[in-house]
Structure 1
Amino acid sequence: MSNKLHIVSLGCTKNLVDTEVMMGKLKNFELTDNSEEADVIIVNTCGFIDAAKEESINTVLSLHEARKDDSLLVMAGCLSERYKDDLMEQIPEVDIFTGVGDYDKIDELLIEKKSRFSEEVYLIDGAERVVTGSSYHAYIKLSEGCNQTCSFCAIPSFKGKLNSRNLDSIAKEVEGLVARGYWDFSFVSQDSSSYLRDQNVKDGLTLLMQRIELIEGVKSARILYLYPSTTSMTLLQNIAKSKIFHNYFDMPIQHINDDMLRLMKRGFGKEKTLELLNYMRSLPNSFVRTSFIVGHPNETEAMFDEMCDFAATFGFDRINVFAYSDEETTSAYDMDEKISADIIAKRAQILGDIVSQSTKMSLAKEVGQTTQIVIDGESEEHEYLLSARKLIWAPEIDGELYVNDRTLDEDLEFGKIYNAKITELVGDILTATVDNATTSK
């Protein structure tokens, strides 16, 4: 088999980890950005909502149009898993279909040139990854599947119930990455605060943090995707005590109106959700991220207005806005009083404008502060500007800042922690002056 590989990873960071596993299994291939010269093209798809599904299918078809005749086109991941029978019938352009259970078998599938769908979701267990996008940061997957029954979410229908990795597996992966020079980690799953609950352990994240803190060389870590009803005050307090894990709180609450939260089957109502959020916000140097869904069935103007007021006033550092997507296999799919696409789009725009202002307010508070940053490389804006981020920020999610000055005589190193003073907010980008390097968190 010829050995040029073009691979595309769509969707979330969990998909990215799976893509990196496939790259690890195909290390004998030469990666190419030019799909037209590739011998193998792999698209790791997302099947979460309509927009993601459309992007996945369009990507597959556009790559097929430009590929050379003797190449192999592989459609993998969530969309392929969710609609395997329909896609295998309707997209004959694809040579190999595979879902969410065979990422570590991709080399075998290419040799066999056959489609395969394993019954179990793949969990990393000793597989070597080719980490992309950074020389010092990596995402670590905690689990697959989800035990929640959110009205709008189809993930459990094709990824199944919660299936947590054991602590030894995760620690071994982190240790291996530290040995390769990685020191900053983001721990991810569909519902991270439920980690190990499928093994009858209620404080799984606390045990995880204790284990990771014992690994020499880990300087920085954060947990993504906390779920309100499985996040305890004790967990938040333990994060606050950690010398390695940042006060980084990523909790998608989806709404704030009590009636809507019940319709969404979110487990917690407004009072308990606020209790968690207010505690997160009260912690020193905390960073609070959330997401909202607009246009869920039965969402009234009053409910939407309440969400907008809350988004504008709470003081979130970052907010994602999702337009409701009507997904089969979900309980919301069968609900009456659907919101029209026009109204959903209008509400998404209104809330999006509020989010933009909220983000700018969060960034403006940084001006004049001294903080720890990591320099990632030259910026795309100007050759004299360096692209960096605050150490607490999640890479590629929370944005970047520009280093435009320094007090050091030495050259600045990429992937190194520096103390810096935030000097200005230009549009929605912070600028900073580097003061000195630090080897501590």
Structure 2
Amino acid sequence: MNASSNTRSWIESANGHADFPLQNLPLGVFSRPGSTPRGGVAIGDSIFDLQAALEAGYFNGAARAAAEAASRDQLNDFFALGAGARQALRRELLHLLDENSPQRARLQAATDGLLHPMSECQMHLPARVGDYTDFYVGIHHAMNVGKLFRPDNPLLPNYKYVPIAYHGRASTLCVSGAPIKRPNGQTLPPGENVPQFGPCKRLDYELEMGVWIGPGNASSEAIDIAEAPQHIAGLCLLNDWSARDIQAWEYQPLGPFLSKSFATTVSPWVVTAEALAPFRSPQPNRPEGDPQPLPYLLDAADQQNGALDIELEVLLLTRQMKEQGLPAERLALSNTLNMYWTLAQMVTHHSVNGCKLQPGDLFGTGTLSGPQAGQFGSLLEMTEGGKTTVTLPSGEVRRFLEDGDEVILRARCKREGQVSIGFGECRGVVVG
């Protein structure tokens, strides 16, 4: 179901494309000027219009039913169909877009209606998100943050037994490119006993992956660990913006609230589970002495093949850097192999109490930092809670984000013998 490494597309921009070669085919929701949002597929520098392709009669059978669901103004209906529908649509897209496709001449003659330059399209949230849950499975981030507040005991005892998470705010999810307004809230200045109200002064990003839920489960029916992968439709990039000073004052005893609910940015393209299959890996072994997961969270197949090898990158572009013509500066390079828990374990644990998951629900993985400097997925870690600074090529320094700063997240799958695929970008500019 995956194109080989030497398979090419008749869409020239797809061949060698950094993110969207034929081997990827992520789905998203887009619109053109004067048109309503509808589903499409990223291929090279273009978007393949599923609605136009359906009207032209390019899909039949199971692929047609899948394309109809994926062509709407949200992907919830498509996610609900599950792996069989995704696979049927993927097979037909690979057949249609291959350079040796029997339909090539007909498709090329109709490209004005079928293919739209990505630069001329507006992207929308891929799905209508009923519920958003943010996990905390990046163990190095958990350790780094824990050391700031509890130097002698950075990880609480439950971390290695429970995939920790909290329920986020679905209403403030936004798609890449949306401006991020600096939030207001209560903060407690150092040395003071009474909080003050005003704009956040310690605004931060968090480098995460987003997990789109496919078929859900009935209320009170838990998802077995062996079946959990069937409930994952695909992944995206996710920036869980964080107001660190608001968070420090409010988080005890119930956890994050206003410090997280003001904005969460996701990349617009959903890279499907099928496209990611060649980049699956064994879950890294736990450090010696760590407990085994409890039986309901432990599955041999998941441990052998349930992790993903995805390179993650965060860059910063300030207003001054833009004015000076400087490129964005890389702040961190990490990997999804830094996850202490697998995606399947996240799904299973979320449902084990009978919680109902629904198509289009979104999980965040939590910040995915590495263990070393240069791999930290937040400024909180990079600056040790604001004690040190990050120096940029423009000569500017940062402890936390300033107005005009643009945060850019990227992700790429690379493996010997496989064509590299990417996720596009997840961008957001801080405004006052």
Q: What interval of TM-score do these two structures reach, taking the shorter chain for normalisation?
A: under 0.3
Query: Higher relative contact order by CA 8 Å / sep ≥ 6: 1 or 2?
Result: 2
Task: Decide which structure has greater helix share.
Answer: 1
**TM-score, normalised relative to structure 1:** 0.25
**TM-score, normalised relative to structure 2:** 0.26
